Amino acid sequence: MKKLRNQIFIIAAIVLTFVIFDLGIYNVFTKRCINDYSESLQAKSVELDEYLPFDENSKIVKLDSEFKLMENLPVIDGAAALYPVFSAFVNSVYPENSCSFDGKNFTPESALQYTNTRGAYKSVVDGTADIVLCASPSEEQLAYAKEKGVDLEFVPIGCEAFVFIVNKENPVDNLTAEQVRGIYSGKYKNWSEIGGENTPIAALQRNEGSGSQTAMLSFMNGEKIKVKNTVFGKAIGFSFRYYVEGIVEDGNIKMLSLNGVYPNAENIRNKTYPIVGEIYAVYRKDNSNANVPLLIDWMLSEEGQQIVEKSGYIGIK
C-alpha cells in the first residue's frame, strides 16, 4: 500500500512538474507572441475594408474633385501605411466602377490594388501597376529595377516621421539617435544602460524590403544591425508615425521622442523631429499612359495635398 502511494505520488509529481513548466513557458513567452490583431490586420498590415473607396462607411478622406479620369486609368498600388491616401485619391478622381474588392483582396481588374511595399515596387517595375505610393526603396528593390532595365521616377508627394515605439509601460520616453543606433548595433543590451529598468532590450526588426526596414537601414548610417529575434526583455521597434497612430491605433504602444523632440505634426512640419522622410509616387519613366503625369500633378495640387494632410501626413509644400 505504501509502495503504491509512493508510486502515485511520483507520477503526480512528474505530471505536475511538466504542467507547471509548460504553463510558465506559455505565460512568460508564448502569450506575448500571440498576435490578437484582426485577421486582416495580421495578413495585410492594414484593414483594407475600412478604407475602401466609394464606400459610405469608409474612413478615407472624401474630397469631391473636378479633376476626373474616366478611361486609361492608371493602376495604383502601394504601402500599407499609405493605403488610406491612395484609396482616397481613387475615390476623388476615378469612376465608381473602377475598383472591385472581393472581401479580402482587390480583384485583378481593379484600378486600385494593394500589395504592400515589397509587392508594389515589384508591380511598378513589372508594369502591373502604373503608380505606387511608398517610402524610399531598398537596395534590393533598386537592383531589381536595374536588372529589369527599368528607370523609375520618384515624385515626393508628402512627408512622414520615422518613429521608435515601445510599450506604454516602459518608463523610457526619449532616446538619442546615438542610443537607438547603439541598441540596434548591439552596443546597448540592457535598458538600464540608457535610462530604463534593469531588463534586456529586445530590439525588433521588420522584413527586408519593407518600407520601415529600409528606413531603419538608412537611419543606421552604415552601422550594421546586430540584433536577433528574442523573447526576453522589453521590446523596442520602429515604424512610420501615421501607421502607428492612425492605422494600428493601439493604446498599449507609445512613440518615443528622439533627441528630445516628439514626433507630432508640428515637429514634422518644421523638421525639428530628426527623421522626417518623403513619401513618393513612383512610376516607370517609360510609362506611356498620359494620365500618369496628370494624376501625379493632381496629387501635388491643392486638392491632392489636402487629402495627404487630412489623411494624417504632412504635405510636401
Residues that bind other proteins (CB under 8 A): 4, 7, 10-11, 14-15, 17-18, 21-22, 25-26, 29-37, 42, 45, 165-170, 204-206, 229, 231, 234-239, 244, 248, 250, 252-253
Q: How far apart are CA 295 and CA 67, in angstroms?
A: 9
Contact 98, 76 (CB under 8 A): no
Q: Of 89 and 191, which has the nearer Cβ to other proteins?
A: 191
Q: Of 44 and 284, which has the nearer Cβ to other proteins?
A: 44
Q: Of 102 and 169, which has the nearer Cβ to other proteins?
A: 169
Q: How far is the CB of 217 from other proteins (least distance, A)?
A: 15
Q: How far is the CB of 25 from other proteins (least distance, A)?
A: 6
172, 188, 216, 253 from 194: Cα distances, Å: 8, 8, 20, 19
Name 96's Cβ contacts closer than 8 Å, sequence gap at least 6: 54
Q: How far is the CB of 204 from other proteins (least distance, A)?
A: 5
179, 256, 262, 289 from 265: Cα distances, Å: 24, 14, 9, 35
Q: How far is the CB of 102 from other proteins (least distance, A)?
A: 24
> What backbone phi and psi angles, to 5 degrees, belong to 172?
-80, 125
For residue 32, count other CB atoms closer than 10 A to its CB. 11
Angle of the 291-300 helix axis to the 83-93 helix axis, nearest 10: 110
Q: How far is the CB of 180 from other proteins (least distance, A)?
A: 14
Q: How far is the CB of 71 from other proteins (least distance, A)?
A: 39
In the chain, alpha helices (H): 2-25, 31-33, 39-44, 83-93, 116-126, 139-147, 177-185, 211-219, 241-242, 265-269, 291-300, 302-310
Q: How far is the CB of 44 from other proteins (least distance, A)?
A: 11
Q: How far apart are CA 127 and CA 150, in angstroms?
A: 10
Q: Of 138 and 287, which has the nearer Cβ to other proteins?
A: 138
Residue type, 224: K
Q: How far is the CB of 302 from other proteins (least distance, A)?
A: 33
Q: Any bridge partners for residue 134, and if so which?
A: 280
Q: Of 110 and 138, which has the nearer Cβ to other proteins?
A: 138
Q: How far apart are CA 31 and CA 294, in angstroms?
A: 50
Q: Of 72 and 230, which has the nearer Cβ to other proteins?
A: 230
Residue length of the chain: 317
- DSSP 8-state class, residue 192: G
Q: Of 89 and 238, which has the nearer Cβ to other proteins?
A: 238
Q: Of 30 and 192, which has the nearer Cβ to other proteins?
A: 30
Cell of 227: 540584433
